[in-house]
Amino acid sequence: MNFQYWQPQIEKMPRSELEALQLHKLKEEIGFALRTSFYQSRLEAAGIRNPDDIKTVDDLRRIPFTTKSDLREGFPYGFLSIPKEEVVRLHASSGTTGIPTTIYFSRDDIKRWSTYMARCIFGSGCTKNDVFQNMIGYGLFTGGLGLHQGGEEVGMMVIPAGSGNTARQFKLMQDFGTTVVHATPSFLLHIESKMKEAGVRRENLSLKRAFAGAEPYSEDTRRRIESLLNIDVFNSYGLSEMNGPGVAFECQCKNGMHIWEDGYIAEIIDPKTFEPVKDGEVGELVLTILCREATPILRYRTRDLTGFFTEPCPCGRTHRRLRRITGRSDDMLIINGVNVFPSQIEEVIMGMKEVGNNYLIVVEKEGALDRLTVKTEVGPNIFMDDARPLNALKERIRETLQASISISPRVELHESGSMPVSEGKAVRVQDTRPKDV
């Protein structure tokens, strides 16, 4: 195979040099963290008053983990380490309740993020000759702009298509000869299932590759997309707290995602004991960002379950490879790539006085896509035989939920006291999507 590297000297750096670089960048990042109101007291409590108090990368373990709820407590500016006028952008993702996780970027932060993305994209075999159709959400979500910047950095022609609207996606592919696409794996399958209906023939398209991420999927799903569309699919991992996509990405070997270790320190811990797992074992991924000055985040509990491959990659990159994410250690749902916490849904429906006490969140597959249904009882004073107010209530619940979680759910109303109540812990989520990871 003909491997290509965007920054060969860093991507193939000997481990000892890479570890020295990590230490240097960690100290720098600690310097940024000491300027934030959130970390100043935390780091002082851990005996870290200046960056030189960090002597080895392992010293990081003196610092407590950072969680999503810490980020919520620090909202809006508790994690900001540079003057606001130096911030050029923010991105946000859903929190467990209405407060989003908000990340700020300086101009240099955006440049660094683009470089990491360019490493990923170029490493998959793309060049400036490619036409890249970015079929994922732009906006506060990091997937759109993240890959967009990386694509431009490589010099590809980027089509900022955004998600949805299959007819328009096909038109763009045909009009401009798209060779690479980026989407959630479920959207890639959906697109394929709509091809025939749209009268599009695969042989008239120029597609060669797809980047797929933002939600879990199995090796079988990858193979299915690859054979249906006759393309190579590369797994792409990231999260907004760590910039977004560009944290880890597959190279042409398509066997595990290289995590850019000059940009991130990865630990894998046992989510119960918080101790590191043995090399190669699966646990929860904890990340420290080394490539962002505006919003330093140290030892972030991603809640994603994964492990490292222990053997070196034939591509020659020295940055270790993460296994496919096999699940999460919390209850976050990912519905068509959108993160949703059951607590966000509960907050909305329990805040409405017409809604009764019992509810159930159902997630299922409908074709290739995910479908969310919220079933809830109405209060005892609401009569089920009067359709007009019921329909109005349903619509109000749907709209309020959509505003909160960015997904339009199906809403089902049930008579007060009619939904089954479980004897032990209430079961609030029924996720019937096949778990084939």
Residues that bind ligand DLL (CB under 6 A): 93, 136, 142-143, 213-216, 235-240, 244-245, 302, 304, 325, 328, 334, 339
Inter-residue contact 257 to 124 (CB < 8 Å): no
* Residue 242, Cβ density class (10 Å: 0-12 exposed, 13-18 middle, ≥19 buried): buried
137 vs 356 by CB, closer to ligand DLL? 137
Nearest one of 130, 95, 115 to 241, comparing CA atoms? 95
12 vs 323 by CB, closer to ligand DLL? 323
144 vs 356 by CB, closer to ligand DLL? 144
93 vs 358 by CB, closer to ligand DLL? 93
Backbone angles phi, psi at 29, to 5 degrees: -65, -35
CA end-to-end span of the chain, whole Å? 28
337 vs 409 by CB, closer to ligand DLL? 337
Written as six digits, the tokens of 239 are 């999260």
Q: How far is the CB of 94 from ligand DLL (least distance, A)?
A: 8
Q: How far is the CB of 216 from ligand DLL (least distance, A)?
A: 4
Tell the residue number behind the tokens 């195979």, with chain if given: 1
Q: How far is the CB of 136 from ligand DLL (least distance, A)?
A: 6
Name the strands in the sheet holding 283-289, side by side, starting at the edge strand that comes first in the sequence.
264-269, 283-289, 300-306, 327-328
Q: How far is the CB of 62 from ligand DLL (least distance, A)?
A: 25
Q: How far is the CB of 19 from ligand DLL (least distance, A)?
A: 25
Q: How far is the CB of 374 from ligand DLL (least distance, A)?
A: 21
Count CB atoms within 10 A of the CB of residue 5: 16
Q: How far is the CB of 378 from ligand DLL (least distance, A)?
A: 33
123 vs 356 by CB, closer to ligand DLL? 123
Cβ-closest residue to ligand DLL? 213
Count CB atoms within 10 A of the CB of residue 435: 10
Count CB atoms within 10 A of the CB of residue 257: 26
Count CB atoms within 10 A of the CB of residue 26: 20
Q: Which residue blocks in 318-415 are alpha helix, DSSP H?
A: 342-350, 387-405
Query: Using alpha carbons only, what angle is made at residue 248 by residues 173 and 227, rounded to the nearest 5 degrees?
Result: 40
Q: How far is the CB of 423 from ligand DLL (least distance, A)?
A: 31
